[in-house]
Chains A and B, each alone.
Chain A
């Protein structure tokens, strides 16, 4: 069966510090991968998606970036965090052309 992992689970970072969040999927090959942010009272916002290694599409311009160095690994990064980057970050995957997205456990990021 497929599983999706995210780490860290919780992160507290100062403004201006760098960020790296990791998402990995097990039990499947060539998944489509997604990063969402969930801010208080604002629902889920799609940040990036990837249909293959090195292929990243950005949905919202911001100071975040994403990379996919391996087939089942998706990384969310920032060079300098802003207060507004605080939120709950969720990674999701789909199997190829399937329509159902499955979500990871999330990372709670607090920027102080």
Chain B
């Protein structure tokens, strides 16, 4: 079975500051890892994914994440926060089983960006 832990239900940063959202996972087999972003009353939008290729993954809107197997982590970063980055972010781990994907989500981290 797999699980995801997102440290911090809320993270506050100032505009222009570094964004760091933490995600740790547990998985019995090599995982696929994802970050999704959700704006209020909208669906989840894929930011980036790790699927066992390069460990540093670049996504949309200037976000990137690094897969660290030794730390079982997949933290999301962005060098400079914009006001438009304020949203809820979900880390997820997936295993493939019998031809379909199963996603296990963390509880989410709300990113607050102040001027």
Contact = CB atoms under 8 A, between A and B. Distances in A.
A44 B105 contact: yes
Given A32-B101, A46-B102, A106 B41 contact: yes
A43 interface: yes
A90 B43 contact: yes
Contact of A90 (B44, B46, B94, B107): B44
Given A103-B43, A103-B45, A106-B42, A97 B96 contact: yes
Interface residues of B, number: 23
Interface string B75-115: 00000000000000010001010011111011110000000
Interface of B: 32, 34, 36, 41-46, 49, 51, 90, 94, 96, 99-103, 105-108
12 contacts: A43-B106, A44-B44, A44-B105, A46-B102, A92-B44, A94-B101, A100-B34, A101-B101, A103-B44, A103-B45, A104-B43, A105-B42
Interface of A: 6, 32, 42-44, 46, 49, 51, 88, 90, 92, 94, 96-106, 108
